[in-house]
A and B are shown apart, each in its own frame.
Chain A
Amino acid sequence: MTETIEKIAAISRISELFTDNFTRIGDGLSDFVNNVRQPALAAFQRMGIPSYKTESYKYTDLTRLFENERFRRSFEPDQFEVSLTDIFSCDVPEFDTHLILVVNGWYDDSNSMNKPYPDGVIIKSLKKATIENPDLVEKYYGKLANSSLDPLTALNTAFVRDGVFIYIPDNTHLSKPLQLINILRSTDDLYVTQRNLIIAGKNTQAKIMFCDHTLMPQNFIINNVTECEIGEDSVIDIYSIQNQHNKTANLTGLYIRQQRNSQLVTNAITLHGGIIRNNLNIKLDGEHATAKVCGLALSDKNQHVDNFTYIEHLKPNCKSNQLYKNILDDSSTGGFTGRIHVAPHAVKTEAYQRNNNVLLTNVAKMNTKPQLVIDNDDVKCSHGATVGRIDNEALFYLQSRGINEKEARLMLMFAFAHEVLAEVKVDQLREMIDKLVNKRLRGEVSKCHSCAMDCIR
């Protein structure tokens, strides 16, 4: 029962924080953003803090995280001298992209020095966009991320201050990828709320990458919600690379709606992080839309990675294909929930899902919940899930050919992971991720991030 009391205390603390800072939170944002805050907070109060008793958070209990009072919330951007060159002294990937820097959830001013974007493309702070481009933002803001269904989204909607707004007008093909670098940097423990809105018009093509990093060894919680509208005939790739230290809780929500004939690829690659929860909701809302949804998580120590996908087939003739893999080492835990929902009239649907997991130790734990909810008979749907270990026979085969056990294991793990990596369409990016995963499996990436040295300073 004590747990419940603590939970109630945490909820009322958050509610107080909201009431006390109501004017500060809403400062500088449009009314249509501020008007939905109160209902969103009410929805959060109703649903409470996600815990194992919440069916969709069964395997990710956030009670202890939210009970912690230590986290500061920033309602104004912190003053930091962050320069891009400094950041790349560490191993943040660098190649030819349009860079967008986000620090502690705030669109960074240094972005103004970026090279001009192609005609008509708008990339700016969401806060500014609500004032400067109200027509565009109001039409799409909060339409996909439903506060009444997910407590974290409700919290995000209640506390949103800033994030990135991206608008790609009709018939625009972006040749260079957009790279959003989310950086967490603070001298005390920090709770960050970030909200992004991406609108891709008709017949557009773009590749968008999210790179999540931490630059200081403090504890962080980041609640990051992204809404993405994809117009007819568009081809959009969304990649996310999560590489944060083990004291970070990264709670993301990605909501996507696809129109006719659009093609989507998403790939979430988790290299590091303390508690990772990725919610992904895709609405296939036009005929012949296709979605390829992938994810790879490598976890060790006592990390926790939970991928939650909800694919809604709302119109006929759509296709979706999901592939999620986890490699769990040490006492890490993993979760996967994949729900495919086929609406009553969405005939000729093809929806597939696969979740494969490898446990490397006897204390690692994997929970998986693949689900099919199908309300019509003209569909081809399947899901498969496996949990196992590295195949002893394959290991023996490699060893018998003179490869030592350690190397053989790495080869097999890398081969296992590569199936997901192969889905990355940007060659340069794929090579880079390949390298990162390789380093990660060898334990080299973690060395940098768990070291006490703060290279930036």
Chain B
Amino acid sequence: MEDQNKLLHEVTGRDYRFGFVTDIETDTIVKGLNEQVVRIISAKKDEPEWMLEFRLKSYRRWLTMKMPDWAQLKIPEINYQDIIFYAAPKEQAKYESLNEVDPELLRTFEKLGIPLEEQKMLSGVAVDAVIDSVSVKTTFKETLAERGIIFCSFSEAVKHHPDLIQQYLGMAVPYNDNYFAALNSAVFSDGSFVYIPKGTRCPMELSTYFRINAQNTGQFERTLIIADDDSYVSYLEGCTAPMRDENQLHAAVVEIIALDRAEVKYSTVQNWYPGDKNGKGGIFNFVTKRGICKGISSKILWNQVETGSAITWKYPSCILIGDNSIAEFNSVALTNNYQQADTGTKMIHIGKNTKSSIVSKGISAGHSSNSYRGLVRVAPKAENSRNYSQCDSLLLGDTCGAHTFPYIEVANSSSVIEHEATTSKIGEDQIFYCNQRGISTEDAIGMIVNGYAREVINKLPMEFAVEAQKLLQISLEGSVG
């Protein structure tokens, strides 16, 4: 047991692997939030009048709202006047070739393993690299453009595709949806915009790398994905952030609209700085993600692997409006040390014959707290809808917590809803079995945890699956229950 504890300490005490700060000049504005700041952000981005109106409307609404307190989280008070709400890399030149890109930046990408150069061609990933909110370099644009696919930064989309933005912005996540969505709607700096035209299958995985870079900068991303009739797209989002002592607030909004027979797959690997082993520092990740299966037979899949952030508070959700639409949510959430996570999903069945499935795997170690919170709601008219939810929790160590809070609201007798949850630890017999076959306890736990999470990891695109597996390994080896 002592050995195991030692091992546990070694592993859980490991420094954050991706902790470094890139030295790039950033263009920031003064700390704090007021109407003037909202106007400045809008002006800096050279936005049209309707965009400013949207921001101001959101800001005024935000002022009337209170921070929700129902989550199973202990959140230190956030001083919104102590946050810089806008930071953009200063060198905003339009790059013709890679040589012109800030070499410091390229090195950052290399450390993160983003294949910005030729590797990218091989891996077939088009990367819209977002460093502190402003899109710096977009690749593969031409290939995508040929097929009519729009994949650009949000601010570009506001300029070049205002009709699409005006039509769909706030459709899935209205500006007054919740406290953090309102905040994001007021001050969002940038993000990604994707539009897949009718009948188009996006030939490659679209990917955005986020990094929170400038000190004391809240990151307010806004992503909007529109999949038109009969289209398909797979979108990847992955994050690593530099080591930082102060808590950083990240309140992003992701909206997905799937029209008739469209399919959108959204995968996330989140590995932001979780704070040190005493629970100091780390990112607050309060994200609103929601998709609407608007068209008939449309399909939205959320896959997520959450290993980072001091506090994760998000519920990627689906509203199934179109008849016969399908939604899936697959999640692995891992917490260690003093990390906290309250995550899950909402599945709102409105259309007939809609189906949803939820698979959530929580793993908690150290002093962490890991909650699944989910809602399945079946409207009276959602005839023959079907939901299956499975929420498993794995506890490693006797000081961590695993909680499950599913909400099931059914107003229709022809629907079938099932929910199952279990909580367990790694069995001594399992470890013994592996030991007996010459596998060290540490490796055995890695194997068992990976096996436990496999169901979800298998759903991720290839590149992510590898990364996710490594992340789990790093965070969990040696954590013996």
Contact = CB atoms under 8 A, between A and B. Distances in A.
B269 interface: no
Contacts of A382: 420-423
Contact of A369 (B402, B406, B421): B406
A363 interface: yes
Contact of B413 (A361, A375, A376): A361
A365 B409 contact: yes
A357 B416 CA distance: 10
B419 A376 contact: no
Interface stretch (B275-283, B391-399, B462-470): B391-399
Which secondary structure dominates where chain A touches chain B? strand
A377 B396 contact: yes
Contacts of B401: 373-375
Given A367-B409, A372-B403, A384 B421 contact: yes
Interface string B99-139: 00000000000000000000000000000000000000000
Contacts of B422: 381-382
Interface residues of B, number: 38
Interface in A331-387: 344, 347, 357, 359-387
A365 B377 CA distance: 11
B345 to A, nearest CB: 15
A249 B289 CA distance: 40
A388 interface: yes
Interface string B414-446: 111111111111000000000000000000000
Nearest to A376: B398
Contacts of A364: 411, 413
B481 A377 contact: yes
A389 B415 CA distance: 8
B357 to A, nearest CB: 15
Contact of B412 (A55, A362, A372): A362
B414 A362 contact: yes
Contacts of B403: 371-374
A437 to B, nearest CB: 20
Contact of A381 (B72, B414, B423): B423
A311 to B, nearest CB: 14
A371 B413 contact: no
B417 A370 contact: no
Contacts of A374: 393, 395, 401-403, 423
Nearest to B409: A367
Given A371-B405, A381-B422, A386-B418, A363 B380 contact: yes
Contacts of A368: 407-409, 419
B404 A371 contact: yes
Which secondary structure dominates where chain B touches chain A? strand
B410 interface: yes
Contacts of B378: 387
Contacts of B407: 367-369
A319 to B, nearest CB: 15
B50 interface: no
Interface in A165-217: none
Interface string B216-244: 00000000000000000000000000000
Contact of A377 (B400, B408, B410): B400
Given A359-B410, A384-B421, A387-B410, A369 B415 contact: no
Interface string B263-295: 000000000000000000000000000000000
B204 to A, nearest CB: 41
A379 B423 contact: yes
Contact of B408 (A347, A367, A378): A367
Interface string B367-383: 00000000000101001
Contacts of A363: 380, 411
Contacts of B425: 377-379
- Give the one of B398, B413, B417 with max A CB within 10 A: B413
A327 B406 CA distance: 21
Interface in B293-345: none
A383 B421 contact: yes
A312 to B, nearest CB: 14
Contacts of B396: 377
Contact of B406 (A370, A381, A389): A370
A315 B399 CA distance: 16
A71 B451 CA distance: 60
A116 B7 CA distance: 67
B404 A372 contact: yes
15 contacts: A365-B409, A366-B408, A367-B408, A369-B405, A370-B419, A371-B404, A374-B401, A378-B398, A378-B425, A382-B422, A384-B421, A385-B419, A386-B417, A387-B378, A388-B416
Given A376-B399, A379-B425, 8 more contacts: A362-B412, A362-B414, A366-B409, A366-B411, A370-B421, A374-B402, A382-B420, A384-B418
Which 6 A-B residue pairings sit nearest by Cβ, starting from the closest? Answer: A377-B395, A359-B413, A372-B404, A387-B410, A365-B411, A381-B423
